[in-house]
Chain A
Amino acid sequence: MIEIKILEENDYQLIQVRGDVDASSSIELDNALKKASESAHKILVDLEGLQYISSAGLGVFISYLEDLKAKNIKMVLFGMQPKVLEVFQILGLQKLITIADNKDESLSLLNE
């Protein structure tokens, strides 16, 4: 099960992801990121409600890295639960994606 919301806030778009991201639900995550990257210059991804992310879900984030860089779009992920964060870290993604603890921190990172 996955639940994704896109909210327009100030000068950024907030994507809220809840539930599990597996091979089939990763398509929805992909759509959300695609939509956000087309309109916004700053993207905030709220992963507080994310319980599990599979390699397919990670692949979605990875596939946008170059794209966002080329378009000069800033993206910050925040609120990950420890076990989710561990998955990101094992893969080394914390070196490529800005990851913050909470929304405030991520907003300040976004506006750097």
Chain B
Amino acid sequence: MLSDKLKIRLSFFLGLLSWLLFLFFDLYLLFIETYHLKVNLSAALPQIFLTLFIISCFFYFRFQISKADSVNFMDLLWRVFITGLITTIGSLAIRLFFSIFSNSNITQNPMTINFFYHILIGLVVVFMVSTFVVWKRLILYQKSKNLIQLWSFFEYFLLGSLVFDLFGNKMMSVNFNVALVFLSGFSLILSFNLKWIAYLNFKQKWKSILFILLSGVYVYHFLLTLDNFSSTGLLSLDLLNRVFVVSLFIFIIFYSVVTILVTLFNLPTSSVFEKKLQEAMDFQKLSHTNRGGTTIKETAELLLESSMSAVFADAAWLQIKDEKPLLIAHGMNELTVQDIEEKIRVEYTRDVVKYRAPEEINTSKVISTVNHPDFKSVMVLPIFVKGTQIGVLALLQEVGDAFNREMVDIIVTFVNQASISIENTKLINEAIENERYKEQLSIAKNVQKSLLPTVLKSNDCFEIMAYSVAADEVGGDYYDIIESEKGIFSLIIADVSGKGTSAAFNMAQMKGIFHSLAIQKEGVRAFITKANKALSECLEKSSFITASLFKINTQDKTICHTRAGHCPAIFHSAKENKTSYLESEGLGLGILRNSEFNQYVEEKTITYEAGDLLLLYTDGIIEAKNPEGKQYGAKGLEISLLRHIDKSLSKIKDGLIDDLQTFLDGEKLDDDYTLTVVKFHK
């Protein structure tokens, strides 16, 4: 297919060529006639080229005008105006020529007259056809199927009239008149398609009236000039004898007149239309805020401005009582807001400003009069989010009884839209906050998990197993074992006070301290005092860590232990089948942050034999409560241990956990709990 640009060029050159050929043949025929030359040339040639010229013109303007995709009415009218101006200047030049040489022979010469008349034909056709195409565009704005059909008929008939004109009917002949009346009727019917006018604003309406009036002047001027030429009686081809041209004139004039009249009558109502359009646009803007990305303040401001312009309010305020309270006042200050809040008369509106409004908005009671020097009318609406009133929108007018039901309905719609938007914003913010919190927790949880050893060190003298569960996603329980020297193991169990992220970080510090101190050859007492000193520097005032430390010497078969505020470990002697608590004096780490701490640290040593067992645990287990509120206690753990003591270590561990779960009976633990079991083999 041909590109649009090519089509425009092609139709342009075709038009120009047709016109030149029309000019040439017509003048040539005239020349033959004047000098009675015997040349056999058909008289139909100029007619054909004129018709071709008109058709080319039509296509040229059709391609050019439809190229501008968006319908901008003012642009279209401007185009008519400009084309008219240029062509009129051209025809004025011709008139000037004739008036200058009015006494000369030149102006009486049929050749000259016809030559200029042909130029005029070109100008008139260009103007008429371009205007016709624009009118078509306007008429077919928001077209219906019927309208398109009607228009196509009109175009076909116009085409028919072009053919009809080839037969050279004279003006006022019967055929001519019938065709003319028929086409004029068509034009009149089509002239009442003026939907586009409704979309013009006040200023644009005035402009279009002006443009069309000026175009009317051009039409009048063309008609006058054409008639002047016609009256000379010397024309070889009179444009006014052509049905096509005359009907085109009539169509253009009809449509112009109807447009001007309708636009004039539409002028007073255009402000209402503009307002409705503005309302629709504001509504759309408010709906747009639903998609998120706007803050509550932005939505509130949009609501306030839209509402004010919708009801022509002189002043207004919008208040939101939320986590971030907000008061926006336009045309008034905050003092006046308080003043008016107190002076509102209707009970319902008073409830609204006091945040006591019922959820169902009572649209008949939102308007109130107010006894205030500046304002006389007030409209107050509550803003609800999820059933709770979170805000107030108040609109004020200087005159009394300024608001009506229709205005209330508009504002209610605005407020509802804004409520949805605010609710959405809040939901999104909550979701983001929640997500952030979860992310932090998951980071902390990962940190905590990575702090606990994955493999517990041991040798063939003992076996060790541990089990730890964190409540609240992140815990502060810690256990670890390292081989300080060959055959000597340092074992720790610790519980960091508090839960959550800070507990996990304190636990990290504990791990650092354990790994740096446990490799030294000092005893457990020195370890605890040094650990307290180190932790005193970095723990917050109300945080502390309880810990039990054991040095297992597999060569001497001794366990040297100390306790820093941690629950005493349970030791089971296989020989006696008896359990005992490894108690010693001791204070939690970080409780006393000076050297006085050292006097409370006690170190004890026991010996073990093959088959003995050491059970370490945290207070999460002994403080565990069943549905009746009873605590598991160290006793519960001890009984459980005795029940499973003959089993393998992993069975013992599982048994201890199972017993605890049975006791809990579905109750959730609100603290971390940790078990570490050591079984000695030799």
Contacts and interface: CB of A to CB of B under 8 A. Distances in A.
A90 B542 CA distance: 17
Contact of B568 (A56, A63, A83, A90): A90
> Which applies to chain A's interface (DSSP): helix, strand, loop or mixed?
helix
Interface in B519-563: 541-544, 546
Contacts of B46: none
A91 B498 contact: no
Interface stretch (B166-174, B207-215, B585-593): B585-593
A90 B548 CA distance: 11
Interface string B451-479: 00000000000000000000000000000
A40 interface: no
Contacts of B542: 30, 56, 59-60, 62-63
Contacts of A71: none
A30 B542 CA distance: 10
A70 interface: no
Given A92-B587, A96-B592, A62 B600 contact: no
A90 B586 CA distance: 8
Nearest to B497: A55
B219 to A, nearest CB: 87
Interface residues on A, range: 20 to 34
B498 A92 contact: no
Contacts of B623: 52
A23 interface: yes
Contacts of A96: 587, 591-592
B591 A92 contact: yes
Contacts of B568: 90
Interface string A92-109: 110110000000000000
A24 B310 CA distance: 50
A19 to B, nearest CB: 13
Nearest to B625: A52
Contacts of A87: 619
B569 to A, nearest CB: 12
B64 interface: no
13 contacts: A58-B497, A59-B543, A60-B542, A62-B542, A63-B542, A66-B593, A90-B566, A91-B591, A92-B587, A92-B588, A95-B587, A95-B600, A96-B592
Interface of A: 22-23, 30, 52, 54-56, 58-60, 62-63, 65-66, 83, 87, 90-93, 95-96
Given A52-B623, A92-B564, A93-B588, 7 more contacts: A23-B498, A55-B495, A60-B542, A63-B542, A65-B591, A92-B585, A92-B600
